[in-house]
A and B are shown apart, each in its own frame.
Chain A
Amino acid sequence: MADNILEMRGITKEFPAVKALDNVNFAVKRGSIHALVGENGAGKSTLMNVLSGLYPYGTYTGDIVYEGEVCRFSKIKDSENKGIVIIHQELALVPYMSIGENMFLGNEQGRKFAIDWGKTHAEATKYLKIVGLAEPSTTLIKDIGVGKQQMVEIAKALAKNARLLVLDEPTSSLNEADSQALLDLLLEFKKQGMSSIIISHKINEVAYVADDITILRDGKTIETLTKGKDDFSEERIIRGMVGREIEDRFPKRHGVKIGDVSLEVEHWNVYHPIYTEKKVIDDVSFSVRSGEVVGFSGLMGAGRTELAMSIFGRSYGTSISGTVKIHGKEVKLHSPRQAIEAGLAYVTEDRKGSGLILSNPLTVNTTLANLHGVTVRGVIDRDKELSVAEQYRKKLSTKTPSVMQNVGNLSGGNQQKVLLSKWMYAEPDILIMDEPTRGIDVGAKYEIYCIINDLVAEGKSVIMISSELPEVLGMCDRIYVLNEGRIVGEFDQEEASQEKIMARIISSDSAEKEKEQ
C-alpha cells in the first residue's frame, strides 16, 4: 500500500434536504500535491470542512485517517494541532494589522498577558523568507497587494507547523504572474516533503502542479487521475467534472453585425482617491462598437476595474479628466444614476460585496437599478415587480425555488445571473462586465457566455474585463491590454494570443523600469 498521509474513507455528510457528500473516498500520498476539482456544489469545500473539523465528528459518517490513526476532530484547532491547515478562498487577514501580527493571530508568541513582539517579528521574518516575501513583517496588510497577502496566508500556515496544507482556490484573485509564483512555491514545498491539497477551478494550473487529481461530482468521487498514468489534458478533466464533453468552451456568435462606435473614451486620467498624488489611469483612450465584445486584459492592479468604475459615474478616483462620448455625443457622468441614464451598466466583479443584496429576494435585486420600471409615481407595483423577476429568471434560466428566495441562498453561478438580470432590466446599451465568470463553474460559465452573445446580437456593446486569458481570447472581438494604468496594446481576435498579450505586459514593464533608471 502506498504511504498515505491522509485517507478519507466513505465520508457521507447530509444537510437538511441535501446529501452534500455521498460515500466519498479520498487519499493523499505523503509528499505529493493532490488536486480536488469539480463544479460548484460538487462538495469540495464541504469535504475540506469535514477534514478541518468545522463540521465536527459525529455530524458526518465515515473515517478520517491521518498519519495512520483515525481522527475525530471536534473543532478547527484540533486539526491544526495535528498539522492540517486550511487556507480559505476569502483571505482572512486584518487590514490594519501588520503582517507579523496577522501571522500569529490566535497563536500569539510569548505569554498570555505579555506578547513577545520581538519573537513575533523574528519568527514572522523567518517564514516570510521561506515564501519569498521581502516585505518587513511590520508592514500593514492593507498596504500590500492580494498576491502578497496570499503569500502571507501561506507563511501563516507554515508558522502553525503545517504538514498538510489545504488551499481553497488560492489563485482565484491572483494575476498570472502571482499565480505562477504561488504554484512554484507549492512545488518547492513538495521537494521538502510537504503534502498539499489544492482546490481550483483553473484546470491548467491543476494539471501543472498536481500529482493526483480527484474529481468530485454531485457529492461523489468520480475518479482519481495520477500523473504519468492518466491523461491530464483539460478536455479529459472537464469531461470528468461535468460528465460530458464540452466540445467548445466558448459558444460561437453567428451573424452578429458590428455597427457604429457606441462608446468612446478619450484621454481619461484618474487619480487614487486616498493617495491623490498617484495616477491610477494614465491617458487612456478606447472605443467600443455596437454588437462588439471588447476585452480588457491585464494583471491584477493594472487599473481595469478602476477604469471601468471611474467611467461609470465617477464611482472611483479623484481629479478625473477626459471625455466620454456615447453614440458620438459627449456626456458628463457624475453619478451612477447619470451613467445608467446614458445607457451604461457596470456589472461588478464583487457580486457579494457590491453587486447584490444577499439578504433580499430575487425580486428586489432584479429591479434595484431600474425601480422606476415597476413604479407609478413613487409607488411600487409589487405584482409587476414579481412578474419582471420571473421573466428574467426564465430568460437566464436561473435555478431557484422561487423569485422570493433570498439571493444569498443561491450558488455563485446563479447569483451572477441575478446580477446580470439586474443590469439587463436597466436596459443599457453598453455593459461593462467585470470578471463575469469569477468563481463559477464550467457549466455556468458557458451559460454566461451565451448571455453575452445574446446581448451583442441585440446590438448592445459588451466590455469584458477578465483575468482569464483563454476567456478573453475565446470571447472578445477586440482586446485592449492594460498595464499600470495605461493601454499598452490592442489586438484583434485573429492576431491575439496568450503569449502576445503577456509579452506586451512584460515589455511595457521593463520599458517603465528603464525610464525610471
Chain B
Amino acid sequence: MTTKTKILNFVQKYTMIIALVLVTAFFTWRTGGKILMPQNITNIISQNAYVFVLATGMLCCILTGGNIDLSVGSVVCFVGTIGAVLMNKNLNMWLAVIIMLLVGVAIGAWQAFWIAYVKVPPFITTLAGMLIFRGLSNVVLEGKTMAVTNEAFVKIFGGGADCYVPDLFNGSNLNLLCLIVGIIACLLYLFFTVRNIAARKRTGLETDAAYKVAVKSVIIVAVVMFFTVRLAQYKGLPMALIWVAAVILIYTYITSKTTVGRYLYAIGGNETATKLSGINTKSIYFFAYTNMGFLAGLAGILTIARLTSAQPTYGQNYEMDAIGSCFIGGASAYGGVGTVPGVIIGALLMGIINIGMSIMGVDANYQKVVKGLVLLAAVIFDVVSKKKNG
C-alpha cells in the first residue's frame, strides 16, 4: 500500500470524526472559543438529547432497508401530552413514566403490525401515524399548553437549570462526581480494550498493531477527560446525559453483538437471503418499529421534562432531525449499513452546527439552509465514495 492509499483509507474510515473535528475547530475560531465553554457543551447535550435517542431508534428502522419512521415527532408529542395530563392529576411520577413508555411501545407495535405483517409500506404507515398522533395530541390538550409541575420529574429527566446529578462529594469549584465518573469510564474503556486483545491473541486471531491501539486509546481518553473537566467546571453531569448514554451503550451493544442486531443488518443487505436462511424477517421488522415507538416514548419524556410543559406543537420536525442524523452519520439509504456511534456523531455534528451558528448569531432561516446542505453533502460523499470502490 502506498502512502497515498493509506491516507485515503484513513480519511474514508474516519470521515465523520474528521468532519466533527473540523467543524468544531471552525466554530471555536468563529466564536472565539465560546462553543467550548462549559455551559455550551452542557447545552449541546441537553438540547439534543431527544435527537440522540430518536436517531438511535431510527437507525434500527433504516438498517432494515432504508425504511424511515415519519411519525416519531407526533408520537413524542402525544406521549408527552399523556404524561402531562397524568401528572396534572397527581399520579405518581414513576407510574406516569411507565405508562408513557408503554404508550410509546403500544403505538410502535400498532404501526409495526401493519408494516411487518400486512406489508403496508413504512412510509405510508408512519405518515398516517404522523397525522393521527399530532391530531390526537391537539384533541387531548384542546390546543392549549399544559404545564408539567412535578419538580422531581423535571429534575430527573429534564435538561434545565437544575437538572444535574448532585455532587455527592461536594467539590468546591469542580464537580468531583463528574470527574470520577469520567475517570471510571476511561478505565473501563482501557480494561475492555486490553481484555479484547488478550482474547483475540489466545484464539490466535490477528490483532491491530500495538501503536495503533495505543494512539487510539490516548486520543479517546484525552477527549473524554477534556469534556469531563468542562462539565465538571459547570454544574456537573446533566441528567439528560445519563439517559442518552444509557441508550447509546445499550443500542450499540444490541446492534453490534446480538442476533437481533445482526438480523437488522442482514435484512437490509438481502431480505430474501435472510428469509431463506430461516430468519423470521417479519418479527425483525416488528421489533424495529416497536422499538422506535419505545424510544419515541423516552424522547417524549425527555422533551416535556426539559420544556416543563406539553404543547400540541412539540416534536415537530423531530423525525427529520433523527433521519438527518442517521444519514449524516453514515447510514445507507438502502439499508444494511450504519452504526450507533456513527449516528451519534452525525447527531452531534448537527447539534454543534446548530449551537455554533446560534452563538454566531446566524439567522434561523440560514441555519436551516446550512443544515440542509450538510445533509446533502454527507449523502453525496457516501454515494460517490461507494462508486469509486465498486
Interface residues of A (CB under 8 A from B): 312-313, 315, 335-337, 339-341, 346, 348, 353-360, 364, 368-369, 371-372, 375, 378-380, 382-384, 386-387, 422, 426
Contact = CB atoms under 8 A, between A and B. Distances in A.
A313 B266 contact: no
Interface in B284-340: 336-337
A368 B273 contact: yes
B336 A364 contact: no
Given A375-B259, A378-B258, A387-B203, A357 B275 contact: no
A337 B270 contact: no
Contacts of A371: 259, 262
A380 B200 contact: no
Most chain B CB within a 10 A radius of its CB, from A346, A357, A384: A357
A369 B277 contact: yes
A313 B203 contact: no
Nearest to A375: B259
Contacts of A340: 277-278
Contacts of A380: 257-259, 262
A393 to B, nearest CB: 14
Contacts of A384: 203
Contact of A379 (B258, B275, B276, B279): B258
A383 B203 contact: yes
Contacts of A348: 273, 276
B217 interface: no
Contact of A336 (B200, B203, B266, B275): B275
Can you list the 8 inter-chain pairs with the closest CB atoms, starting with the nearest? A357-B269, A354-B272, A369-B277, A337-B278, A340-B278, A336-B278, A357-B270, A368-B277
B257 to A, nearest CB: 5
B129 to A, nearest CB: 29
Contacts of A354: 270, 272-273, 276
B265 interface: yes
B118 interface: no
A359 B338 CA distance: 12
Contacts of B273: 348, 353-357, 368
Contacts of A312: 276
15 contacts: A312-B276, A315-B276, A337-B280, A339-B278, A340-B278, A355-B273, A359-B337, A360-B265, A360-B266, A364-B262, A368-B277, A369-B277, A371-B259, A383-B205, A387-B205
Most chain A CB within a 10 A radius of its CB, from B279, B280, B336: B279
Contact of B269 (A359, A378, A379): A359
Interface string B335-375: 01100000000000000000000000000000000000000
A345 to B, nearest CB: 9
A485 to B, nearest CB: 22
A364 B266 contact: yes
A333 to B, nearest CB: 11
Given A339-B278, A380-B258, A383-B199, A368 B266 contact: yes
B274 interface: yes
Contacts of B274: 357, 368
B106 to A, nearest CB: 24
Contacts of B242: none
B102 interface: no
Nearest to B269: A357
Nearest to B196: A383
B260 A346 contact: no
A356 B277 CA distance: 10
A353 B258 contact: no
Contacts of B265: 360, 364
A508 B92 CA distance: 78
B276 A357 contact: no
Contacts of A315: 275-276
A426 B276 CA distance: 12
Most chain B CB within a 10 A radius of its CB, from A356, A378, A387: A378
Contacts of B266: 357, 360, 364, 368
Contacts of A375: 258-259
Given A356-B273, A357-B273, A335 B280 contact: yes
A313 B277 CA distance: 11
Contacts of A379: 257-258
B143 to A, nearest CB: 46
A371 B265 CA distance: 13
A375 B260 CA distance: 11
A380 B257 CA distance: 5
A356 B275 contact: no
Most chain B CB within a 10 A radius of its CB, from A356, A360, A382: A360
Interface in B230-274: 257-260, 262, 265-266, 269-270, 272-274
Most chain A CB within a 10 A radius of its CB, from B257, B260, B269: B269
A140 to B, nearest CB: 23
A384 B200 CA distance: 10
A16 to B, nearest CB: 9
B201 to A, nearest CB: 10
Given A355-B273, A379-B257, 18 more contacts: A335-B278, A336-B275, A337-B278, A340-B277, A348-B276, A354-B273, A354-B276, A356-B270, A360-B336, A368-B274, A368-B277, A375-B259, A378-B258, A378-B260, A380-B262, A383-B200, A383-B205, A422-B277
B197 to A, nearest CB: 11
A369 B278 contact: yes
B3 to A, nearest CB: 15
Nearest to A408: B390
Contacts of B279: 336-337, 368
Interface string B51-94: 00000000000000000000000000000000000000000000
Contacts of A339: 278
A187 to B, nearest CB: 38
Contacts of B262: 364, 371, 380
Nearest to A337: B278
Nearest to B258: A378
Contacts of B259: 371-372, 375, 378, 380
B119 to A, nearest CB: 14
A378 B300 CA distance: 29
B276 A336 contact: yes
A384 B258 CA distance: 14
Contacts of A368: 266, 273-274, 277, 279
Interface in B193-222: 199-200, 203, 205
A392 B259 CA distance: 21
Contacts of B205: 383, 386-387
Nearest to A315: B276
Contacts of A335: 278, 280
Contacts of A382: 257
A341 B272 CA distance: 19
A426 B270 CA distance: 19
A428 to B, nearest CB: 11
Contacts of B199: 383
A313 B281 CA distance: 14
A353 B258 CA distance: 25
Given A315-B276, A337-B278, A359 B336 contact: yes
A288 to B, nearest CB: 20
Contacts of B269: 357-360, 364
A353 B270 CA distance: 7
A346 to B, nearest CB: 6
